[in-house]
Amino acid sequence: MKTVKCPCCNKAVSWEHNPFRPFCSEFCKNHDLGKWANEEYRLPVEEQDGGNESATEDSTKTKKKLD
């Protein structure tokens, strides 16, 4: 039987027949989901040249159309 560590509390938990995997319990699963919802976790973003300028230009054009 394969065991893994719960990413929330580090408790050893069985991988097979575990409805909450990779978590050990519904509490740990929901706790982790709450952290994502509160933006405590963030994915790194690589900025590309010119990527932010077009988004700013688009929002400015949209704002002018609404005024």
pLDDT for the residue numbered 63: 53
Alpha-carbon distance of 33 to 53, in angstroms, equals 33
DSSP category for residue 58: H
pLDDT for the residue numbered 56: 53
pLDDT tens, N- to C-terminus, the chain (67 residues):
899 999 999 999 999 999 999 999 999 999 999 999 999 988 888 888 765 555 555 555 555 555 5
Q: Residue ranges of the domains in the chain? A: 1-43
pLDDT for the residue numbered 1: 82
* Exposure class string for 16-52: b at 16+ Cβ within 10 A, else e: eeeeeeebbbeebbeebeeeeeeeeeeeeeeeeeeee
Fold of 1-43: Erythroid Transcription Factor GATA-1; Chain A (3.30.50)
DSSP category for residue 49: T
Please state the pTM of the whole predicted model. Answer: 0.59
